[in-house]
Amino acid sequence: MGELYDRMARDLKLKNLAETTQRRYLHYACGFVRYHMRSPREMGVPECKEYLEHLLLLGKSAEMLKMHVAAMKFLYRETLNRREEAARLPWPKVAHRQPDILSGTDVERLLVASKELVPTMVLMTAYGAGLRISEACQLRVEDIDSKRGLIHVRLGKGKKDRYVLLPARLLLALRAYWVQVRPADGWLFPGVKGGPISPNSVRRALAVAVRRAKLKKKVTAHVLRHSFATHLLETGTDIRIIQVLLGHASLQTTARYTRVSQKMVAGVKSPLDLLGTKRGEVLG
């Protein structure tokens, strides 16, 4: 892409998107250009659709297609200033599958099965405070406010700060962890090569722990966050408080957890069961 690559990279930085998103958009845009071997200036919606069809034939998922569409939309809308063409690019329909939710026993088994100290503490923190793995990895020692019982999450998704709860059990575990590790350079969870531990290192340790714990569910790092929210909901926490803890801008995003809480579904009385009872009188 040459000069266009530099312009797109600059535009991505000016939009202050996450570094991972910037890298992906640039990578996907380069893939689009390599496929056609032409400058994006000479192409438009038909070429974009042809490339998406090519990706479909390669067996790419709808989620992956969505990322490619986002990259091409950014390229044409922001870098090339061809907003009408960007608007005409269709978003692929992505199936919204309900994630597996771990039970409390599953979480306990998982943490016991995780043998590497630093990744284990990241996983415990992610579940205990409802953090994204990337947020947990980036925590610094000063972010733990033991007096107020809070964790300060700095520049989470959307470049926003927020405070989340610091569970008493997690605080005790962190104090014991501190005695063993003595984290250097201010990072709470240091990596082997300096800086904070990488999310991929934690994901690899999680995969090993899942096998050791013999869990049959599909467990990803994000499932811990889903489980945190669902467990709060099932224990009676107001969904608006859960929204703040998770850092969701919209309550609709948080509301999806009401669809995965089996205890809440099982606890609802069908109107059929109320017919002929005192509670059923309100039905007329």
**Widest CA span in the chain:** 75
Of residues 157, 203, 212, 256, which has the active-site annotation?
Answer: 157
Q: Are 89 and 70 a contacting pair, CB within 8 Å?
A: no
Of residues 109, 132, 226, 231, which has the active-site annotation?
Answer: 132
Residues 6+ apart with CB under 8 A from 131: 125, 151, 153, 164, 225
Annotated catalytic residue 132:
yes
Annotated catalytic residue 248:
yes
The beta-carbon contacts of 188-196 under 8 Å, at least 24 apart in sequence, are 188/139, 188/140, 188/141, 188/143, 188/144, 189/118, 189/121, 189/122, 189/125, 189/136, 189/137, 189/139, 190/118, 196/137, 196/138, 196/139
Of residues 169, 222, 240, 259, which has the active-site annotation?
Answer: 222
Q: Are 83 and 45 a contacting pair, CB within 8 Å?
A: no
Annotated catalytic residue 157:
yes
Annotated catalytic residue 27:
no
Q: Are 128 and 170 a contacting pair, CB within 8 Å?
A: yes
Return d(Cα 251, Cα 256) in angstroms, integer. Answer: 9
- Local structure of 187: helix, strand or coil: strand
Name the token pair of 233: 């909901």
| Residues classed as catalytic | 132, 157, 222, 225, 248, 257
